Copies of this chain bind each other. A is one copy, B any other.
């Protein structure tokens, strides 16, 4: 069933039927109801391909997932972010397009997305320092929202981010207040913007109390269980080991916990651990009582909001860059306690 067929069945022109269905004012209310009823009866749904060509719009948003050819890591927070964004798109009748591309083809992918007209805008994932994608997207005039921020970007851009600096600063202060003086940082890869900000927060908190950050207590690697384990273990084997650890994710935190236990220590008593909890649905930090003390911020909610922001930008391109900073909450779990004496 297509528009022409429906129209002839109603004894109307396609023009009028189209207008009736799209809520234009110039069609008689009685006619509109007749059209609506007939459309429902025949389960008519306008062909998306035709709408897209006629309107020149894609009604779709792209998410380009670069896959590092070397260490093929798919970001674990990705699934939840996508789920959140997808909810927004579904509500607004937009399609979500996922492009999985080798990272050396990322630029080409954006250009193709633009010139082939597959999407109306994109979400930029995992921004790095001086991220080249921002200038590129500006140049090709593609609306976009960055999940995170890109320190060093020359041009303004829309973003949505968690206050990573503040979160890690507060977590560090919390540990300091508990009497800890040697605090290890098990960070993510520090060419990622969020990891840089987290380190800044940690360093700031230490120096504000007159403590000097020690390189041996600062690790940076992928946020996997193994990396967390290795980094924590290495620190705990130092002559002067830390009494507390700050971990970049739930997963590396689980690695850290394993390292603590392997050495016969007790988490929350001998070693305090704070993690950043992205509130992943398959990786809940306990239920009633949180397992880890954590800085928490829902990445799924971030997905919802980032998508909403992008849709607004698409609907109204004249809108200046929009920015949204989410604060993480500090939640108490069982993994922290006063520094051992």
Q: A residues near B, CB below 8 A?
A: 43, 45-50, 52-53, 56, 58, 65, 67, 72-76, 78-80, 82-83, 85-87, 89-90, 95-101, 111-112, 115-118, 222-226, 251, 254, 257-258, 261, 280-284, 286-287, 291, 300
> Which of the residues B58, B76, B282 comes within 8 Å of A73, measured between beta carbons?
B282
Residue in chain B with minimal CB distance to A55: B49
Nearest first, the 10 closest Cβ-Cβ pairs linking A and B are A86-B100, A76-B282, A79-B79, A49-B52, A48-B116, A45-B115, A49-B53, A96-B98, A74-B83, A74-B281
CA distance A48 to B114 in the complex (A): 10
Contact, CB under 8 Å: A282 / B117:
no
Contact, CB under 8 Å: A67 / B83:
yes
Contact, CB under 8 Å: A76 / B283:
yes
Smallest CB–CB gap between A109 and chain B, Å? 8
Smallest CB–CB gap between A18 and chain B, Å? 15
CA distance A73 to B281 in the complex (A): 5
Complex copy number for this chain: 2
CA distance A273 to B317 in the complex (A): 56
Smallest CB–CB gap between A98 and chain B, Å? 5
Contact, CB under 8 Å: A95 / B118:
yes
**A and B contact pairs by CB, cutoff 8 A, 5 listed:** A43-B115, A74-B83, A86-B98, A224-B284, A226-B286
Dominant secondary structure of chain A at its interface with chain B: mixed
Contact, CB under 8 Å: A224 / B79:
no
10 new A-B contacts at CB < 8 Å, known A48-B116, A76-B282? A47-B53, A47-B116, A48-B118, A49-B53, A72-B281, A73-B281, A74-B280, A74-B281, A75-B79, A222-B282
Residues of B within 8 A of A76 (CB): 76, 79, 282-283
Residue in chain B with minimal CB distance to A72: B281
Smallest CB–CB gap between A305 and chain B, Å? 15
CA distance A100 to B91 in the complex (A): 10
Contact, CB under 8 Å: A50 / B53:
yes
Residues of B within 8 A of A224 (CB): 282-284
Residues of B within 8 A of A78 (CB): 79
Contact, CB under 8 Å: B90 / A100:
yes
Known contacts A98-B86, A224-B284; A47 and B79 CB within 8 A of each other: no
Contact, CB under 8 Å: B100 / A96:
yes
Contact, CB under 8 Å: A97 / B99:
no
Contact, CB under 8 Å: B100 / A223:
no
Residues of B within 8 A of A100 (CB): 82-83, 85-87, 89-90, 96
CA distance A116 to B51 in the complex (A): 10
Contact, CB under 8 Å: B116 / A98:
no
CA distance A103 to B261 in the complex (A): 40
CA distance A251 to B282 in the complex (A): 9
CA distance A257 to B169 in the complex (A): 32
CA distance A76 to B77 in the complex (A): 10
Smallest CB–CB gap between A131 and chain B, Å? 21
CA distance A65 to B84 in the complex (A): 12
Contact, CB under 8 Å: B73 / A86:
no
